[in-house]
A and B are shown apart, each in its own frame.
Chain A
């Protein structure tokens, strides 16, 4: 008897929940989907007209921010991607109202906008107004990285991300900050303890997994789906930038700990060297960027960044890495034009290429070219007098942005492996005597250059 009763209860419950399920289906079909467009059914889009809930939310949001003088611009990769396809048509017919909501109504859960901090006066009334309009909002703030590098300054936390939620759509507003090195930066999105983790599906956000660095934006206004929005002027460039915008902050705390152990050299010589090295690095970065050659901090310069967030004062040169596929023949003339004569050239494009330029007062700029193998990346070295070849092996890595001596530059994202490959596990201990042929822990003897090639592969000026 008891068993039967239970079964009856079970059956009843199943029935009720099926009824509810049916009701849910009905509800979505007849009530929500014509209104909300693509949120719940992915096939909508063009037919739904401009009634899409996203469109409404975005319209409200844009009204809100413009009435509070916050010049936001659209950086949503999905929407921008759609816009990019029809870009010419959109920009030519400035007031050509398309009958359908093509871009903002496309299926997605949120739309991403950006706000440049310095263009906004932080009008707090915006948030009250947002609440009155029915938005729920969330602010994610954190320490100001521009002050992180400095001893003992504690600023107020700065807002990094805002999320405005209305009905089933959310606006993700990413706050960008200008930083030293002529670029803008946005912070990572990290939730603090007391923050509602279910506010939006944070993992799906396009921005915030890592910090990011971008060129300063140029924006233009377009009328899209009957809404006036600012978008990045060069769309393809922006989308391209976005795909590898990851930014690593220097490890300031570790650097401070390092300087506790090994006090910094504050002598006039060190000051002078750093000044020259910094100028050289700025010049090199300018030259390579103008050529469109991707480069990263390598060897001692990379170690200096990673270990002490500064140039190592007793290193004698600046080291950069470049993938051999990014090699351009006009690198040498460009440097010469910039006032940096070629000092030596070892190897050839096919093998172990290395260029060295003479900076001001004995500060040298070394550019090592990196070759990719199946499971590692390597660069070569050549001993001029003997024609011996060396090979330095690194585990594979990708490139991240960072800020170094007021410059936005690349470093290997997997910096620790990179530095450890080069300097061993003891990289934290300063070593002043360094032999490039023996000291590195990843050096391998790589045979000899054939004597008949010496004229070509060993050029010393």
Chain B
């Protein structure tokens, strides 16, 4: 029996084995006290952690549950309470050390040892340099130079200084010469800012000044020029500025999403006027009326920008105020890693993309255009078109309405390759009818629509490479690209070119060619007979016009106003000499005396120009090159105008830049 009880001891064996295993373990560990202690400590620690984790878990779940309970009562209504953003009190008021240097060849400004302005380039940066600092942080908010040696720059300076908020720290320094065209109004403003010497500031004096707008003066230095031919000695002004608290430097706008954007902007940059006004800030959201049946609501808008943030600011304001604008479709492409344009873009809550500059001058612009267009179509894969704008344009209130009515032409008529908002010949005295459209052979740019197929299939693959220093728009106007196609333009432009600083732009040029351009301000203009802009219909339309047009008296001087009878709303035709397709001798002279665009030929359609004079529609036909020459009564001799002497022409051609 004993042998047949293998199970009984086995049953007992289990605990025994356990115990013995435990004992063995214990003995073993006894021999290794350290190991045993460690294990014990580990166990204790582990248990403690478990306990803590448990408690935390319970607390967490309970809190979540109770929160949930509260929430269900409160539901989704938002904006009940304004969260007070806690502000750190700036206990330690800081002092800024400022150094300002003014001399003939160099200016510099250092704040706390950091150079924030240094200009010693030759033949550049003449005039009064101004730096605006934030009175709480000491950050540079604006840097400007006004060449007050030249006329009108002092007015711009006054404008700028008036826009700077009270309390900002202003730093002035003259390089080379800054007094020649500094008029009394500007001087008295500087005086009111606390300058003692500005009223006696004269030819080639050196001057540095630091003061708070509407407050104390921190320092001023001045050195007189001893003689007309020499400059005053360099002056170095060293001064200290007490920083104020952040609260004092900021406005108390209600805490909304928009105002948060505004605050971010206004603590960073200066010189944008009422947008940062504490009392009555100008809106940064416009909510213009939507358009009925807007065909361009989902057309992406690419804004091509450089480093002209004030322009961009003005441009975006007008763009966002245009009826039917869709801010979501706007992307601003900034050529270079400039901060301030990006700040402007963010102020308006738009998308901005920065582009590393490639190449130089015109090629840089051209590469920037290419990158911007490619990116636009990448970001909006179903877009068939893109609107291309530049940062120095005002946009008419009915810009999108104009495009919405005409964009279908681009789809239906393949003899078209753009719709532009700009009429090169549409000046105050030559444009009249906002509902009228033309077909022209020259692409005007300045606010235009490009189709994806044209860009992707034709332009993008052979876009001029960076080493070719070409203007993109000149290139686009070349016959290889244009392929005989035309653009639709309005009689009265839907954009206005206000930029006077730019790659191909200066004040004189702007005054002569852009200032008097007509710009539509009427909302919701119903375009007339858009269908007649299609290829064949347009020819019928032109023939109709020619048939009804009265022939002007070709014996009179076409430059004189009396060339036109004193009528209104009539159609006239005149014939000028144009030997072959590229003969624009007479047209150029005529354009010159009419004060329209004469730097190259714009706005023609098969040797025909259309414009208004004294509120009458005038057709100008080039004979015999134009196919419309056949309409010329045989008795009429086409007008021929002599080009001026050679040198003059050469000068003008050199100035002929694209816009």
Chain A residues packing against B (C-beta within 8 Å): 6, 9-10, 13-14, 16-17, 20-21, 23-24, 27, 31-32, 35, 53, 56, 60, 63-64, 67, 118, 121-122, 124-125, 128-129, 132-134, 144, 146-147, 149-156, 166-168, 178-182, 266, 268, 271, 274-275, 406
Contacts and interface: CB of A to CB of B under 8 A. Distances in A.
Nearest to B372: A153
A283 B240 CA distance: 72
Interface of B: 40, 43-44, 47-48, 50-51, 54-55, 57-58, 61, 64-65, 67-68, 70-72, 74-76, 78, 257, 328, 337, 351-356, 358, 371, 374-375, 377-382, 456-457, 461-462, 465
B50 A147 contact: no
A149 B378 contact: yes
B571 to A, nearest CB: 45
A10 B353 CA distance: 64
A10 B43 contact: yes
Contacts of B54: 17, 20-21, 23-24
A232 B484 CA distance: 47
Contacts of A118: 328, 380
A32 B68 CA distance: 13
A144 B74 CA distance: 38
B371 A151 contact: yes
A16 B382 CA distance: 65
A200 to B, nearest CB: 14
B375 A147 contact: yes
Contacts of B375: 146-147, 150, 153, 155
B67 to A, nearest CB: 5
Nearest to A147: B375
A271 B58 contact: no
A167 B371 contact: no
Nearest to B48: A13
A167 B68 contact: yes
B376 to A, nearest CB: 10
Contact of A60 (B48, B71, B78): B71
B379 A147 contact: yes
Contacts of A23: 54, 58
A392 B70 CA distance: 68
Contacts of B355: 152-154
B378 A150 contact: yes
A59 to B, nearest CB: 10
10 contacts: A27-B61, A35-B65, A64-B76, A132-B74, A146-B375, A146-B379, A151-B356, A154-B356, A155-B375, A406-B456
A53 B65 CA distance: 10
Contact of A147 (B40, B48, B378): B378
A373 to B, nearest CB: 40
A63 B374 CA distance: 38
A271 B355 CA distance: 25
Contacts of A53: 68
A17 B328 CA distance: 57
A154 B64 contact: no
Nearest to B460: A271
A17 B50 contact: yes
Contacts of A149: 378
Nearest to A123: B257
Given A152-B356, A156-B353, 12 more contacts: A6-B40, A13-B44, A20-B54, A27-B61, A133-B74, A150-B375, A153-B355, A167-B65, A167-B68, A178-B381, A179-B378, A274-B461
B40 A133 contact: no
Given A24-B58, A124-B257, A182-B381, A152 B371 contact: yes
A178 B379 CA distance: 8
Centre residue among B51, B75, B76 by max chain A CB count within 10 A: B76
